[in-house]
Homo-oligomer: A and B are copies of this chain.
Amino acid sequence: MSGAPLPRSLERLIEALSRLPGVGPRTAERLAFHILRTPLADAQALAGAISTMREQTRPCEICGHVADEVRCRICTDDSRDASLLCVVEEPLDLIAIERTGAFRGRYHVLNGALSPMSGVGPGELRMRELFERVDAAAAAGSPIREVIIATNPSPEGDVTLLYLQERLGTKVASITSMARGLPFGADLQYADAVTILRSLEERRGVES
């Protein structure tokens, strides 16, 4: 920030805020001035919430989702179908699926997708944990009957999908992936060419 010399502590906060995703220097400035003006208790609550969250959360030892105990609330929920496993890249993907309320199985969070270009191989993701989980379920006589691979519709997500399909194909009765096509409510004329192409290729018969 040229021109206006600001207190060092305020500049440091602006710097720290501008490292957040989607927060540019101007937004960081606006947020910092909001925190400057807000009641002291609110500012302290925000600072405290950051520290406390980092102290009190950990990855679930089974699925990798964020948890406050050794295991997350989904993995310890006996009402959920343990034979149906949905594999996602990130906890936020899990949350998006949970929001629909339509899925009653369990999850496995990979913590990313395969990306040879960025040096992300199977060892960088929670792949080994997934294979061990599938094997352990089979060995215990309660095999996983379906794995839904819900990686992102992106080149990295598709590479990950193919890799998992290959590695799990002999172990799991059914391997599925999320449907691809025009998103609900979208305008066909604004859809990208790849989505239109795939929606044509994977067109379905209309039920009468």
Q: Footprint of B on A, CB under 8 Å?
A: 1-10, 12-13, 15-17, 19-23, 27, 29-36, 38, 40, 42-57, 66-68, 73-74, 90-92, 94-95, 98-101
Contacts and interface: CB of A to CB of B under 8 A. Distances in A.
Given A68-B8, A95-B1, A43 B50 contact: yes
Contacts of A100: 3
A54 B44 contact: yes
Given A1-B95, A94-B4, A35 B13 contact: no
Contacts of A2: 99, 101
A33 B101 contact: no
A30 to B, nearest CB: 6
A30 B92 contact: yes
| Copies of this protein in the complex | 2
Contacts of A23: 31
Given A20-B31, A21-B30, A36-B66, A3 B95 contact: yes
A50 B46 contact: yes
Q: Is the interface of A mostly helix, strand, loop or mixed?
A: helix
B91 A33 contact: yes
Given A21-B31, A30-B21, A33-B92, A52 B12 contact: yes
A35 B6 contact: no
Given A4-B99, A19-B42, A35-B50, 10 more contacts: A2-B99, A2-B101, A3-B99, A4-B74, A8-B68, A9-B56, A13-B50, A16-B49, A17-B49, A43-B54
A67 B9 CA distance: 10
Given A7-B67, A66-B36, A101-B2, A46 B16 contact: yes
Among A15, A19, A51, the most chain B Cβ lie within 10 Å of the Cβ of: A51
A22 B30 contact: yes
Contacts of A99: 1-4
A26 B134 CA distance: 33
Contacts of A22: 27, 30
State the 10 A-B residue pairs at the shortest beta-carbon distance, nearest first.
Answer: A7-B68, A4-B98, A3-B98, A47-B50, A9-B56, A13-B49, A9-B53, A5-B73, A16-B49, A4-B95
